[in-house]
Structure 1
């Protein structure tokens, strides 16, 4: 059974306040996207990588990212869509056959191999699973006027990360059904939860699996790169 990884690198990254796509910013001597790709390139369990990028950046990625190492598992670059869900759907339509697919943010370069392997195992058992970590802070639910509505039980709350992993046909069907719905979907798992009425399991990951979104994230990412290992 093949395990494919979809890596999303088509976002604009406006919160980074940088002149280039945040995935191309240097982190510990290499572009952020390079680090993310290397994680999956080195894993024996992963067979193929589909890299989703903006159409006008495909040439840049090919010349300046993929030439930095032997990224033999990158079988295709897929054109990104208007929104994240469109980008994922474009990639899913490019995958044939059966198996599992992992959907991962290109700006998360510190996901650990051991967590990915546990995620894959859980997905083999239940067809849908996501990485996440228990929240550390108390969370308040507020209305549009910033009035506190309620305080959820923190012991039941998790911050969701990527990869999110699915049986291929399950997530494909979920994405095909979204066209008939006007609701917003915050992540891939939500489509499976809402449109397929399918259980999604949570797999505990690492707090170091940050998404580099702001300049402060980049500074913290430099610290992680220098002090921690991907094990």
Structure 2
């Protein structure tokens, strides 16, 4: 299934909202957070699995991977000042023959191969696919003073997750066209280049570690899953 697929795990974020320290190095379920994704995905794409780390912590990430996942065949590179630079660096590390690539946020340690398979299947049909969940909360827009200015129609709105999977050639082309611009996800880069991306419903928990309290939630979820 994954013979023509590469994987780029972006682990170079600043974690400003987390409140101090690198959230990806916190231990949860007996592993640093980023290594849950390594254990889940690296074995399916040996030699085509890339981790993009902060420039000043690359050796630390490598040493932890060697300690906990010595069998994983990982390609390493360092990220840039913004997410787009990190994804570009990861794409540049992929070997020839990769036709589809999954871009995954290392701060989502609960993502599974089952989810990747569903998203990859849809990406093969249309050129790009991402997992997500329909928005169920009421949405408000506020002015500069925090006063509500309107209620936003939530119909057809989705909360986006990773891994996001794309035709590798199209994604590289999209990033070349997006030089000098910053995007919060890769589907946005593809859309700016005129390429279609589909959303695949993911009913499973796919927590993103963003705030300090999320770490405790992750530990509980891992215990519930027996991980």
Normalised to the residue count of structure 2, the TM-score between the two structures is 0.90
Runs (5+) with no aligned partner, structure 1: none
Is residue 2:212 matched to residue 1:215? yes
Shift of 1:201: 0.1
Aligned residue in 2 for 1:126: 126
Q: Return the alpha-carbon distance in structure 1 between the equivalents of residues 125 and 134 of structure 2.
A: 22
Normalised to the residue count of structure 1, the TM-score between the two structures is 0.89
Aligned residue in 1 for 2:70: 70
Q: Is the 8 A contact 1:31 1:65 kept in 2?
A: no
Aligned residue in 1 for 2:88: 89
Shift of 1:205: 1.5
Is residue 2:16 matched to residue 1:14? yes
Runs (5+) with no aligned partner, structure 2: none
Q: Is the 8 A contact 2:83 2:184 kept in 1?
A: no
Matched residue of 2:49: which SS? strand
Shift of 1:139: 1.1
Q: 1:116 to 1:229 in 2, by over 3 A?
A: farther
Shift of 1:187: 1.1
* Superimposed CA distance per residue, residues 114-163 of structure 1 (whole angstroms, 9 cap, x where no aligned partner): 21110010011111111111122111233434344443332311100111
Cα RMSD of the aligned pairs, angstroms, is 1.9
Q: How do 1:1-231 residues align onto structure 2 when only pairs under 5 Å count? A: 1-18=3-20, 20-42=21-43, 44=44, 46-47=45-46, 48-74=48-74, 76-97=75-96, 98-179=98-179, 182=181, 184-194=182-192, 196-206=193-203, 208-228=205-225
Q: Is the 8 A contact 1:33 1:65 kept in 2?
A: no
